[in-house]
Structure 1
Amino acid sequence: MKNIFKLPNVFRFVCVTLFAVTVLFNCSEEKFKESTDETLNITEFLRANTERYSLFLQILDITDYASFMNTYGTYTLFLPTNEAVEAYMTDLGVSALENVPLEDLQELAKLHILEQKIETTTFTDGKIATPSMQGQFLITGAVNTSDGSSITVNKSAKISTSNIEVGNGIIHEIDQVLRVATKTIAETIESDPSLSLFTEAMKATGWYEVLDRPITYVDSVPSYLSVIAQSNAVFEEAGFNNLDDLKTRYSHLGDPMNPEDSLNLFVAYRISPGLNYLADLAVTPALITKAPLEVISIKLSADTLLINEETFAGIFEKGVEIDREASDETATNGVVHTVKENYFIKKRLPAPVYFDLADQPEFRQLSSVFRVPGMWAGLSDAELADVTWEGTPALNYVCQALGSSSRPGWHGDVLESVRFRDGFNNNIEFTTPVIIKGQYKVWISWRTNLRATNSVRAYFNDTPLARTFNMQEYVNTGEAERVLESQGYKRHISPTSGNYNCKLLGIINVETTGRHKFKLQSLAYAGGQSWFDVVEFRPVDMDQLYPKFEAGGDGLIYE
């Protein structure tokens, strides 16, 4: 060894290194890293923290869910502490989790698990978009106390520690066990003493039985219902103290069981098909009800949801506020809300509907690209609930933001079809927003492309409209607007763009208020993209030119 230090520095370094390596391999056991990620999965995390989570771990073990919660995946777990599970057992009157029926534990465990990683930064004041594995949705919100602000889950459980990263997802610690909703809508309403008069009205009209039915499925579509109930205090303020008062005011046929009786319609007008939580209502401009041909309008004003607040014929009609605190009550077959004032059916005149074809719910969920200048997203037929087509492309629709372009449409976007022609995409069918019954002129606007199809026919509920349109045709920018209108054309955006055209397709008679089908069929070859902007349904007695649409923006431009 002494001779080593007589060598030049470089040789000295080489010899020392070789010696160290030789010693290392001769004296140490070989070890290989078996994993590139040593982060614990959910079950491993619980086993490593039994002082806080042993009881929920026991629930996973009893239900045989511990193994799959330890596998690869992306989960969110709302994790009750031991104290929370102990309080749950005390409430049930059991001393051990083994005394809880297995099926109840299974449903309970699944309610706490979501098959998607969801951080608290994505929470909103309302329903989490992804349902739990149990099938019911969880509701988040905020509560302010003397100890500060907290996030709540299902209105009662507080998140004490959030966003705990684990190998297969994320964990939010909660201080209460979440409870599975076990009552139907009818039972949920009946169990609330403050809704006793509404319960009587449901029973008198036969709607109680409808709201007490379990979920059924037709073509995989569940029979969920949503109810907007009224408290006794709201009835009393409106002058109704008992069922006889309601019958005197509303039962004009004297037979509440008759679907045409006004009291029956009073209740039916508060029931809508579908699972509509407050978060869903906030983006639903009109809600179909069980009262035939009748809808309620929904308006979001700041953080308040208002029913039937509209301006008709220049007259402002004040809306009725939904009671947020008393709403979003999950039932086995739907959800229950309440309102702060009494309301009844409002007869509606035909109103314009401006249907931006690129405004689809699935595109809206892509917040990083939806209407962001220069961004776009392509979705397939199977990924869009309200758009279908025939043809071969796997990705055929593109929501393309054009806000930074010199050729923007309304809201700055268009809906693009890659090959809108026979053999590729034969036709495109959309489900419209709610249209109030009446007569309408139908206009369609598009961005001109000389390689797009030159002949398209439109259909409303499978009935062909009178005129076809040519997507290669440029708008006439020189003709006076009213003269152009008389020819069945107009310049629909402002400032006017020569790249967009708009044509009258015909007049339709909408016989029922609700959502309808609007289909476009290509009748010719296309060698390039087709870009669609807005379909307008304007009442026949309305000005057909104004309001126009703000190019690249969200506004309406009046004359």
Structure 2
Amino acid sequence: MKRNFRKQYWLIGTWFVLSVALIFSCQKEKYRISTSDEVNITGYLEAHETDYSLLTEILYRSKTAGYLGAYGTYTLFAPNNESINAWIKDNGKTGLSDFTDAQLLDFVKYHVVRDTVGSTRFTDGKIKTASLLGEYLYTDVQNGIYRINKSAKIIRSNISCGNGIIHSINKVLVPPAQSLAELIGNNPRYSIFAEALKETGFYDTLYYQRGVAVADAKRFQTAIVESDSVLQLQGIKSYADMKAAYSQTGNVKSHKDSLWLYMAYHLSNDIKFLEDIVAANTIYTLAPKEIISTKLLGAQILLNDDVFNGVHEAGAEINRSQSDVLASNGVLHEAKQPFKIKVRQQVPVYFDIATSPELVNALGSAYFNSSKALVANGATIANSFAFNSLTVSTIGTNGYYYYKALETKRPYANGDLLSLSLCANNSARAKWIEFKTPYLVKGRYKVWICYAQHGDAPEIQATFNPGKGDEQILPNTIILNQSLTASGVSDLANANADNLMLAQGYKRYMATVGDYNVNNITGGLKAKSGSEAPLNVGRLAGIINVETTDRHVIRFEAIKDKKCGSNTVYLDMIQFIPADDLEQNYPRFHQISGELFYRPK
């Protein structure tokens, strides 16, 4: 039975919005915000047939008019009549009657997102909810105008309807025709890389045909490729050169072959636009247990640009002009320089949590001059510190703040610490705090919690990567009101005291009189005994197994209170020392300069 079609801007399916590039955010155009009294999206389109009659016809032909006229939460990217006529002509057709109902249904599904996505939620990259077609839409900004998929401009935004939002666009959105495999294989810029994909078997991994069932985990992927010109700078002018340079077994399909690993390292499951890459800080690749680190430096997006063991390792820059290229099963990026798996050896990591770079950057230059509040009402600090929910945060009462001072009994490493209120049974205070660690090379580590004793401090439990697949609850409870004498060693001046304490999971981490310093700096703590013993304690929380070289998360949770006093948790350092290292006692740290001290010669 034939339905009446009102001429209207046809309902545009779930739009994957790649939102405004941060560097252009200040140029955003102030779009007109319109409100409609219409009951629903379909009704609005029918009432504005001058612009949307063709879109309305598409809705009825595809049997989605009722769907978009019913209760729900939708966002429609709606092309007007002019853009639909252009789309019809581009397809070599004379009218909508030349398209099948199934084709028009896919048309609608690609323009609709089952979520209300106003322009304030546009970010540089994909819209977080996929379109009804199951593929993501991408947003960016050009000359202050929002674009969808780098093609259609939003000409009128945030039209409010009873069941969602309409954004009017000046061009029909067309799903990408090529898969990642085809996008790379058909581009002469990537002829060497494409041949390596085929030889190693990854071309099939990146190939996708709509309608063919694919496991959810492999439906979308990200490829970061190297162009022929970049490879040629390494002396690689052909696939044969590439195989000679990287394959150590000759069997490039073997998962143990270095060329297979090289190619796997350039691919990742999941779809990551540039915005996602910057926000993630880490890309997990198809190379087992190997990650790519990411950072934003000015306008540059850098891969594997790291400081490791005190040495800066220059990374590769993303070529923005050749990146964020949408495929039917993911997104393609290009690197300006080559990058590969970094082979590193385990080293001890001494994490002075009060001087974490993210914390310092977040709080500014005044951070080092006086006490500085870290959190208000449960806010996250920088991107490496987080608390659970709070109801109160007042410095000196229930506060959480950086503290820089020197005390006779508690001369903290580098003269600073984090002063916190952690309580197990007080809802007005945080129960846990977690930190993102520096890079840890995969392997086993002993984890030492270094703190300054306070008589009212709680007991805490440490958890490595809480909530993750490799979550590890460390076995030793850290009783923060204990001093070094809790080890059972009361005479800390005893020549064998360090070994005796270490056997019980305790150690000194502050420099003591007699320790060796290469710059001949003096001023270490005296090894007093009993109640006079120094109150800076290194306590072994346990051993962790780091499966992937990356920055990880460690959480400290209060599990038992003594008094639940305010600001009684004095955290100084976290030390990650390879479990097989025989030396766990040294180096130690000077209370003012932070200089390292070693075992006396």
TM-score by length of 2: 0.63
Check whether the contact 2:160–2:166 (CA below 8 A) recurs between aligned residues: yes
- Report the alpha carbon displacement of residue 337 of structure 1 after superposing the two structures with TM: 1.5
Pairwise CA RMSD: 5.0
| Structure 1, unpaired ranges of 5+ | 1-36, 357-370, 379-386, 388-395, 421-426, 492-499, 549-556
Whole-angstrom distance in 2 between the partners of 1:433 and 1:108: 47
- Report the alpha carbon displacement of residue 103 of structure 1 after superposing the two structures with TM: 3.4
Whole-angstrom distance in 1 between the partners of 2:325 and 2:453: 49
Give the number of aligned pairs.
Answer: 463
- Report the alpha carbon displacement of residue 46 of structure 1 after superposing the two structures with TM: 0.9
Q: Which residue of 1 aligns with 2:474?
A: 465
Q: Which residue of 1 aligns with 2:443?
A: 438
Residues 18-417 of structure 1 mapped to structure 2, 5 A cutoff: 38-144=37-143, 149-212=144-207, 216-217=214-215, 224-350=220-346, 374-376=376-378, 398=389, 402=393, 407-408=399-400
- Report the alpha carbon displacement of residue 296 of structure 1 after superposing the two structures with TM: 1.7
Task: Report the 3-state secondary structure (helix = DSSP H, G, I; strand = E; otherwise coil) of the residue aligned with 1:141.
Answer: strand
Q: Give the counterpart letter for 1:209 in structure 2.
A: D
Q: Give the counterpart letter for 1:304 in structure 2.
A: Q
Task: Report the 3-state secondary structure (helix = DSSP H, G, I; strand = E; otherwise coil) of the residue aligned with 1:137.
Answer: coil
Q: Give the counterpart letter for 1:322 in structure 2.
A: I
Check whether the contact 1:113–1:133 (CA below 8 A) recurs between aligned residues: yes
> Residues 6-62 of structure 1, C-alpha deviation per residue, up to 9 Å, x if partnerless?
xxxxxxxxxxxxxxxxxxxxxxxxxxxxxxx93453212211211111122222222
Whole-angstrom distance in 2 between the partners of 1:327 and 1:183: 15
> Residues 226-266 of structure 1, C-alpha deviation per residue, up to 9 Å, x if partnerless?
21112223223433222122122222333322323222222
Of 445-454 and 126-135, more deviation after overlay is shown by: 445-454
- Report the alpha carbon displacement of residue 157 of structure 1 after superposing the two structures with TM: 1.1
- Report the alpha carbon displacement of residue 325 of structure 1 after superposing the two structures with TM: 2.8
Whole-angstrom distance in 1 between the partners of 2:106 and 2:590: 55
- Report the alpha carbon displacement of residue 488 of structure 1 after superposing the two structures with TM: 5.1
Greater relative CO, 1 or 2 (CA 8 Å, sep 6+):
2
Q: Give the counterpart letter for 1:336 in structure 2.
A: L
Of 300-309 and 232-241, more deviation after overlay is shown by: 232-241
Q: Give the counterpart letter for 2:303 in structure 1.
A: I
Distance 1:376 1:112, change over 3 A: farther
Q: Which residue of 1 aligns with 2:411?
A: none
- Report the alpha carbon displacement of residue 298 of structure 1 after superposing the two structures with TM: 0.8
Distance 1:343 1:132, change over 3 A: same
Whole-angstrom distance in 2 between the partners of 1:76 and 1:487: 59
Check whether the contact 1:127–1:278 (CA below 8 A) recurs between aligned residues: no
Check whether the contact 1:429–1:520 (CA below 8 A) recurs between aligned residues: yes
Whole-angstrom distance in 2 between the partners of 1:261 and 1:114: 42
Check whether the contact 2:224–2:266 (CA below 8 A) recurs between aligned residues: yes
Distance 1:488 1:49, change over 3 A: farther
Whole-angstrom distance in 2 between the partners of 1:58 and 1:473: 76
Check whether the contact 1:225–1:275 (CA below 8 A) recurs between aligned residues: yes
- Report the alpha carbon displacement of residue 139 of structure 1 after superposing the two structures with TM: 1.5
> Residues 493-518 of structure 1, C-alpha deviation per residue, up to 9 Å, x if partnerless?
xxxxxxx9995412334354468897
- Report the alpha carbon displacement of residue 90 of structure 1 after superposing the two structures with TM: 1.9
Whole-angstrom distance in 2 between the partners of 1:449 and 1:94: 80
- Report the alpha carbon displacement of residue 270 of structure 1 after superposing the two structures with TM: 0.4
Task: Report the 3-state secondary structure (helix = DSSP H, G, I; strand = E; otherwise coil) of the residue aligned with 2:321.
Answer: coil
Whole-angstrom distance in 1 between the partners of 2:544 and 2:89: 63
Q: Which residue of 2 aligns with 1:510?
A: 546
Of 441-450 and 110-119, more deviation after overlay is shown by: 441-450
Distance 1:206 1:475, change over 3 A: same
Whole-angstrom distance in 1 between the partners of 2:126 and 2:450: 35
Q: Give the counterpart letter for 2:50 in structure 1.
A: E
1:538 equivalenced with 2:576 (yes/no): yes
Check whether the contact 2:195–2:239 (CA below 8 A) recurs between aligned residues: yes
Q: Which residue of 2 aligns with 1:496?
A: none
Check whether the contact 2:507–2:537 (CA below 8 A) recurs between aligned residues: no
Whole-angstrom distance in 2 between the partners of 1:355 and 1:287: 26
| Structure 2, unpaired ranges of 5+ | 1-35, 354-372, 381-385, 404-417, 427-431, 486-491, 493-497, 511-535, 579-583, 596-601
Q: Give the counterpart letter for 1:398 in structure 2.
A: S
Percent sequence identity over matched residues? 32
Whole-angstrom distance in 2 between the partners of 1:410 and 1:95: 70
